[in-house]
Chains A and B, each alone.
Chain A
Amino acid sequence: MSALLEVEGLTAGYGAAPVLHDVSLSVQPGQIVAVLGANGAGKSTLLRTLSGLLPATSGRVTFDGQDLRGIRVERMVHLGIAHVPEGRGVVTELTVDENLRLGGLWRKPQPSLEPIYELFPRLAERRGHLGHQLSGGERQMLAIGRALAAQPRLLLLDEPSLGLAPKITAQIMGLLRDLRDRTGLAVLLVEQNVRSALSIADQGVVLSLGRIVTRHDAATLVDDADLRHAYLGF
């Protein structure tokens, strides 16, 4: 099976100092790949580079066989890549409904939002509320729902568990697994919450100081005590 996302030798960073060094990984259709690592390991930088917010200094990224070099950020969603940024990226001045509409706005005709509201009944109750009136969990649901409104093939998800209660984190992880199983959605999931991420991931990639230090099936990473101690600290 050919990979949906193929990253080869990616180096990127801010200014002269690279944050990512020679990162290679791939995501298959319908696969959840967890990118793990401590704060400052370069996880968010990886996602920002993939979606074009940050230019890569070298390396190659292909999505569904297409080279992503020189593709503008606002075109990524047209290709089928949706990026939910760290801090969730809900536009707090807009209502829940407007945020969701924004997600599917580029599609012609514009998709119905009802499937998203069915997925997140809580959002349906709060349609008219402004983004800044939502709780952290609701914002995360809104950000994910908005990304799904674009009907992407690959979801780049940055720290969805950040600041959320364990129960809500579990709910969101369960939802991602369902989506993968039902729709074949591929997810590149950046997480500090290793247990949650590996509970749904097919593969785990550990990033340390901008380099990939290990890469295994999620089950192997969870079960192998040596690996866990060495790379994940539990």
Chain B
Amino acid sequence: MDRFLFLTFDGLSRGAVYAAFALALVLIWRATRIVNFAQGAMAVATAYVAYSVADATGSYWLGFVVALVAGLLLGAGVERVVMRFVDHSSPLNGVVVALGLVLIIQGVLGMIYGNEFRPATAPFSRDAFEIGGVALLSRYDLFVFAAVGAVVVLLTLLFTRTPTGLRMRAAAFAPDVSRLLGVPVGGMLTLGWALAAAVGSLAGMLVIPTELGLHPTAMDIVFISAFTAAVLGGLDSPIGSVLGGLLVGLLLSYISGYLGATVAPMAVLALLVVVLLSRPDGLFSRSKARTA
């Protein structure tokens, strides 16, 4: 029972990161009908920048802020310089361009920082403290929950309570009509990419210290887990992606705990296949997901 509780909390902590990363994928999917396969590589790139700053200044938190700002800029840049010019007549075009970006970013990171794992320190202890005699949560887990919770709350407020959020939603749902109503749709797209990439960077900063460290491909497996979470949530639904993330986190934690850590990556892929085959619209979808 203690083990089950431990695995549950561990799974929720991982799941929170997947949730944030899946949320970033959903933001871009809703706005552009593109699955941003480059999101993992983009997040790693900003994490490298962040740890360079942290190493140079000795302040993790300065690096943390730099990661988020770099995410905003990188996201805006990718939209403005690359994605805006992708021909959307076929949904595959965006995918191919995103995969190309992955290769470029990972190649450049390898050239600059080398293709070996570099240690990435966590800002809080990862040792679990005991609650009622059971080691459940570390300070770092609490930090993860707080950070992801804050992002979810802030994005919800942005989208539901502010004029900019209303503009962003309208631009995503009905670009032509929105332009007729005076919404600068291009600007909203750029903003959407910037926010999504910053959320992706946050997820990267949260997950990299819990894995093997910094590496150009450090987010590849995380991407697959988060993508599975997003598909599980229906790709169109921010709430679905958060729930999907937590579910995937729990599932992976139980599988690693009871069947062995080596089974987990395969389990994610198996889950993705099962979801795509049986519930391609996601577990929580009410209406049919749009086809590109």
Interface residues of A (CB under 8 A from B): 51, 53, 72-78, 82-83, 85, 89, 91-94, 98, 101-103, 105-106, 110, 146, 150
Contact = CB atoms under 8 A, between A and B. Distances in A.
Interface stretch (B143-151, B177-185, B253-261, B270-278): B177-185
B197 to A, nearest CB: 24
B14 interface: no
Given A77-B181, A150-B182, 4 more contacts: A74-B182, A75-B182, A102-B183, A105-B167
A101 B177 CA distance: 14
Residue of A51, A73, A75, A146 with highest tally of chain B CB at under 10 A: A73
Contacts of A72: 179
Interface in B272-288: none
B180 A105 contact: no
Contacts, number: 66
Nearest to A48: B176
A150 B173 contact: no
Nearest to A81: B180
B126 to A, nearest CB: 41
Given A89-B174, A93-B173, A76 B180 contact: yes
B268 interface: no
Contact of A94 (B173, B182, B184): B173
Given A91-B170, A94-B169, A98-B166, A105 B182 contact: yes
Interface residues of B, number: 17
Contacts of A150: 181-182
Contacts of A83: 180
Interface string B173-206: 1101111111111000000000000000000000
Contacts of B173: 91-94
B132 interface: no
B163 interface: yes
A73 B170 contact: no
Nearest to B186: A74
A28 B63 CA distance: 61
B181 A103 contact: yes
A110 B164 CA distance: 13
B180 A89 contact: yes
